[in-house]
C-alpha cells in the first residue's frame, strides 16, 4: 500500500528510515512472530534478527524481547532515539527550523514538516529518497 511521506510516523517512519539508513545496510525487513524486524539471512537460510521496530516505547521493547525470545537484538527507533536521528541529520546535512506561527518544525525548503524536529528531519530523509509516496508492504500493518 502507498503512504504519503508526509504522513509517516512511529514504526512506519522508523521502517522507512531503516530501508535507506546505511546503519541498516544488508538487512531484510519482515514480520517475525508478529513483530517487524530487520534480519540477515545466513548461508543455511536461517534468519538472524538484528533489530526490531517497536516505536521506541520501553514497555514495547520488553514485550518484543519476550515475544521474540531473545535479548541480543536492538530496538531501532530513530523517531524517538536522538542519537540515531542526529547521525542521520548530520550526515545528510538536513536543516530543520521551527515556524512559530504554525507551531511546527519544517525542513528549510518546506518539503516536509513534523510535530518534532526528528520527525520533520526523518520525513525529509525518506522524502529525499522516495519522493511524495512510499510503498509499504501490506503485511507490515503499520
Digit-coded pLDDT (tens) for 9-19: 888 899 999 99
Q: In which element (H, E) is residue 86 found?
A: helix 82-92
pTM for the model: 0.83
Cell 536522538 identifies what position?
82
Q: What percent of the chain has pLDDT over 70?
A: 83
Cell numbers standing for residue 44: 543455511
How large is the average pLDDT for residues 6-27?
A: 90
Own/partner pairs, 112-116, CB within 8 angstroms, 24+ separation: 112/5, 112/6, 113/6
Kindly tell me if the per-residue pLDDT of 91 is higher than 90: yes
**How does pLDDT run across 92-127, given as a tens digit for each residue?**
999 999 999 999 999 988 899 999 999 999 999 999
Amino acid at each position: 500500500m502507498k503512504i504519503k511521506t508526509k504522513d509517516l510516523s512511529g514504526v512506519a517512519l522508523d521502517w522507512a528510515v531503516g530501508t535507506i539508513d546505511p546503519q541498516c545496510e544488508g538487512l531484510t525487513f519482515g514480520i517475525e512472530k508478529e513483530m517487524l524486524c530487520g534480519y540477515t539471512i545466513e548461508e543455511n537460510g536461517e534468519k538472524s534478527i538484528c533489530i526490531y521496530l517497536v516505536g521506541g516505547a520501553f514497555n514495547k521493547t520488553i514485550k518484543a524481547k519476550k515475544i521474540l525470545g531473545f535479548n541480543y537484538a536492538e530496538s531501532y527507533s530513530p523517531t524517538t532515539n536522538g542519537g540515531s536521528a542526529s547521525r542521520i541529520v548530520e550526515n545528510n546535512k538536513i536543516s530543520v527550523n521551527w515556524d512559530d506561527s504554525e507551531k511546527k518544525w519544517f525542513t528549510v525548503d518546506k518539503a516536509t514538516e513534523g510535530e518534532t524536529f526528528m520527525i520533520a528531519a526523518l520525513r525529509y530523509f525518506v522524502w529525499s529518497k522516495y519522493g511524495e509516496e512510499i510503498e509499504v508492504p501490506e503485511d507490515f500493518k503499520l
